[in-house]
Amino acid sequence: MRLKDKIVLITGSTTGIGESTARRCIAEGAKVMVHGRDETRAQTLCAELGSNAAYILADLAEAESGAQIVSATVAHFGGIDIVVNNAAVTTRSSLETTDADMFDWVVAINLRAPLLIIREAVREFRQRGQGAVLNVGSINALSGEPNLVAYSTAKGGLQTLSRNL
């Protein structure tokens, strides 16, 4: 029960690593705001997690989503203690196939959204006197891959953002 009564926002938590993180946080006593884009998945997961889980749907490519999901977490649970920036897109692209629109979309979700979410959450953390952020990284932040140009670039930026915090 290491997270007893902590309020955790987890982006991209209707599948994969985010879903597993949400399940573990609930098992450790947390209240969890599940985030995703698929309402059926979010509803199903929250039904399984029980009364300490709620969900918010938002497209992180939209700049206002960060503020919306933090404020929804605070409104529902009365605060926020931890942010897990897990959501990401892993669109395959090489230097030759990465155009400006695709690059901007990947960076918006994988880098800009975490920054904006953190900015909003820190306001709440300061009022509560504490808070924590976990940015889910990738080995591609260090090494990259020829077929993950935009993803690797965004994860490299997220790693630098984490150090700057």
- Establish whether 155 is a catalytic residue: yes
| Options 6, 31, 55, 151, the catalytic residue | 151
Give me the half-sphere count of Cα atoms (radius 13 Å) on the Cβ side of residue 128.
16
- Establish whether 55 is a catalytic residue: no
Task: Tell me 62's DSSP state.
Answer: S
User: 3-class SS at 32?
Assistant: strand
- Give dist(CA 134, CA 117) in Å, integer: 12
| Options 6, 31, 55, 155, the catalytic residue | 155
User: 3-class SS at 140?
Assistant: helix
| Beta strand 132-135 pairing with 31-36 | unpaired
Q: Which residues contact 2 (CB under 8 A, 6 or more apart)?
A: 28, 29
User: 3-class SS at 53?
Assistant: strand
- Positions annotated as catalytic residues are 151, 155
